Amino acid sequence: MTFKNALKDKFVVGKAIKCVDCTQVFIKESSFSNLYAQKGGALFLQDIGSGKIVDSTFTNNTALQGGAIFIANSNITATDNVFVKNKAQLLN
């Protein structure tokens, strides 16, 4: 699946995917590019029981926190992913 070219707007978290209090998350062979959000330019994952991000590409995503991905209170494994020119604007 491909997610790309979302303009800045009022989306606060996870421009492509937002998951809060989910039992499981599995993202495979996906592409995320040119996305912007306040937290997690592409993905916002919070309070996830278990999850995997596999063989995916994150390019030129921007957020105040978590340039490409914002993860909080979650058990997530990331394997064989590519990250290129993602940017978090705040350092905390």
Q: What are the pLDDT digits (tens) for 67-86?
A: 999 999 999 999 999 999 99
Q: 17, 27 in Cβ contact below 8 A?
A: yes
| Cβ atoms 92, 64 nearer than 8 A | no
**Which one is predicted more confidently, 6 or 49?**
49
pLDDT at 87: 94
Q: pLDDT by residue (tens digit) across 15-72?
A: 889 999 999 999 999 999 999 999 999 999 999 999 999 999 999 999 999 999 999 9
Which residue has better confidence, 77 or 10? Answer: 77
CA 18 to the chain's CA centroid: 8
Q: What is the pLDDT of residue 9?
A: 59
Structure tokens at 19: 């998951």
- Model pTM score: 0.89
pLDDT of residue 12: 75
Structure tokens at 13: 């978290």
Burial of residue 27 (number of CB atoms within 10 Å: 0-12, 13-18, 19+): buried
